[in-house]
């Protein structure tokens, strides 16, 4: 899934294009089958402050790889959708203050979760410390997505 997502993002220049292409790839996995499961992996990225973003992304990548080893269906995380070379193209968010950037990304992920393409959300350790992950958890709860807490799987 990661490779298909990243291939689909070549040439994107804004969040709307990223979202459209991501949803297209997810729909390919669904292939019209409502029972097909797709998981989203949520975790802390920037809520520890700007000095910890790189470390948190590295940890989220590690958690994503670990979850893929036990998941019986495709999963993805923000690190698959926003690798540095994609994020750096998005002038609309990279130059915003932290609060506005969080709003943009919260809206982005809310739309993805509301797409009816995601069936599961995996909450990685320390997710409660992240404003974005707490928002994703709330949206997932409201939508009735299956929520899995991964502390017992990730060490």
Chain segment 88-141, per-residue pLDDT in tens: 889 888 788 888 988 999 999 999 999 999 999 999 999 999 999 999 999 999
* CATH label of the domain that carries residue 57: 3.40.50.10400
**With 70 as the cut, is the pLDDT of residue 155 above it?**
no
Distance CA 106, CA 6 (A): 20
Q: What's the rounded Cα separation, in Å, for the pair 45 and 70?
A: 23
Question: Between 98 and 55, whose confidence is greater?
Answer: 55
Token couple for 12? 């994107």
Q: Is residue 46 part of a domain?
A: yes
Enclosing domain of residue 140: 2-149
Instruction: Give the pLDDT score at 146.
Output: 97
Q: Which tens digits make up the pLDDT trace of 3-45?
A: 999 999 999 999 999 999 999 999 999 887 777 999 999 999 9
Domain count, the chain: 1
Residues sharing a CB contact under 8 Å with residue 7, sequence separation 6 or more, in sequence order = none
pTM for this prediction: 0.94
Sheet strands (E) in the chain: 39-42, 75-76, 120-123, 146-149
What's phi and psi for 95, nearest 5 deg?
-100, 5
In a domain, 81, yes or no: yes
Does residue 155 lie in a domain region?
A: no
């Amino acid at each position: 899934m990661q490779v298909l997502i990243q291939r689909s993002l070549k040439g994107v220049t804004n969040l709307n294009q990223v979202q459209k292409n991501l949803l297209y790839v997810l729909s390919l996995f669904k292939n019209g089958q409502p029972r097909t499961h797709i998981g989203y992996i949520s975790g802390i990225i920037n809520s520890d402050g700007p000095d910890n973003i790189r470390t948190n992304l590295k940890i989220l990548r590690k958690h994503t790889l670990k979850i893929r080893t036990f998941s019986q269906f495709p999963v993805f995380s923000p690190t698959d959708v926003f690798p540095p070379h994609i994020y750096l193209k998005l002038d609309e968010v990279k130059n915003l203050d932290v609060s506005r950037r969080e709003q943009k990304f919260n809206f982005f992920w809310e739309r993805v979760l509301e797409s009816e393409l995601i069936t599961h959300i995996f909450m990685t350790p320390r997710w409660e410390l992240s404003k974005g992950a707490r928002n994703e958890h709330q949206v997932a709860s409201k939508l009735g997505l299956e929520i899995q807490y991964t502390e017992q799987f990730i060490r």
